[in-house]
Amino acid sequence: MRSRIVHQPRGFRYMETRPAPAEPTAWIVLPGHADAPAHLSVVRYSPLARLYRTAWYAFLWITSTVATFLVTIFDPFMTSMPLFIGAVMTYRSWRGRFRVTEFRGACPRCREPIDLKAGSRIGTPHHLVCYNCHHEPELYLAA
Residues at the interface with Zn ion (CB under 5 A): 107, 109-110, 130, 132-133
Q: Decide whether 107 or 139 has the Cβ nearer to Zn ion.
A: 107
Q: Decide whether 30 or 40 has the Cβ nearer to Zn ion.
A: 30
Query: Which residues sit opposite 140 in a β-bridge?
Result: 27
Q: Decide whether 74 or 131 has the Cβ nearer to Zn ion.
A: 131
Least distance from C-beta 124 to Zn ion, angstroms? 20
Query: Which residues sit opposite 40 in a β-bridge?
Result: 103
The residue type of 2 is R
**83 contacts: CB under 8 Å, gap ≥ 6:** 61, 65
Query: Which residues sit opposite 141 in a β-bridge?
Result: 26
Least distance from C-beta 18 to Zn ion, angstroms? 12
Least distance from C-beta 129 to Zn ion, angstroms? 9
**46 contacts: CB under 8 Å, gap ≥ 6:** none
